[in-house]
A = this chain, B = another copy of it.
């Protein structure tokens, strides 16, 4: 049996915190152990795929399962770590269902970080960062990413503006109807002098940005305003649509290749 045949297609792909290397025995969280042994009913000898955002993806084998425990030993690296596009999604927090959707879909769409920012018209007053991270981990496990987007600590709009890293371009989804169309604006922005390839997409709340927020954004040299067509999009739709267009025009969807 040659090496290629020995790589099995595992039924589960899990994110772990521990270091992954040959013969490592990373800890699985209780929920992961339950999932493997009781939901998927995998026993000793079955394989799982593991990644931790740093060491690539590894094949591991279950050595012991049952009674709420599941132990694994890491066998071999199946994919080397590689980073995706450096794109943040900065968004006004919304209610529980759409914010979970934003976290999951933005992860699939390859964002490096999720940053909830409270604008003037934001209707919710707090964000469950732990739940956002759980949504992102679950989506990362399923979509084949080698990392999980960072969740940046929620702040108010003014603080975001004050601390914005000037080498990161900020693409603002502008629903006033006065911004250039997104494909035109991003094609133009992609030709700008390189800023290290750092980007962010900013999406406002259902009530939109205030005039003063838009004015403040308009004064910044690293801001590109983009329009998303004639219909009124929900905040989550605008976020996902903006990310998809960015990946298609500027990001890693421009390359051909086998799925990761």
Query: Does any Cβ of B come within 8 Å of A240's Cβ?
Result: yes
Beta-carbon contact of B253 and A181 below 8 Å: yes
**0/1 per residue, A217-260, Cβ < 8 Å to B?**
00000000001111111100100111111011101111111111
**Contact for A181 among B232, B255, B258, CB less than 8 A:** B255
A108 lies within 8 A of B143 (CB): no
The residues of B that contact A182 with a CB separation of less than 8 Å are 248, 253
Q: Which residues of A contact B (CB under 8 A)?
A: 101, 105, 108-110, 142-145, 175-184, 227-234, 237, 240-245, 247-249, 251-260
Residue in B227, B232, B252, B257 whose CB lies within 8 Å of A143: B232
Bound-state CA distance A109–B231 (Å) is 8
Take A237-B109, A248-B245, A257-B177 as given contacts and tell me if A143 and B231 are in contact as well, using a CB distance cutoff of 8 Å.
yes
CA distance A175 to B257 in the complex (A): 10
Are B248 and A230 within 8 A (Cβ)? Answer: no
The complex places the Cα of A233 from the Cα of B106 at a distance, in Å, of: 11
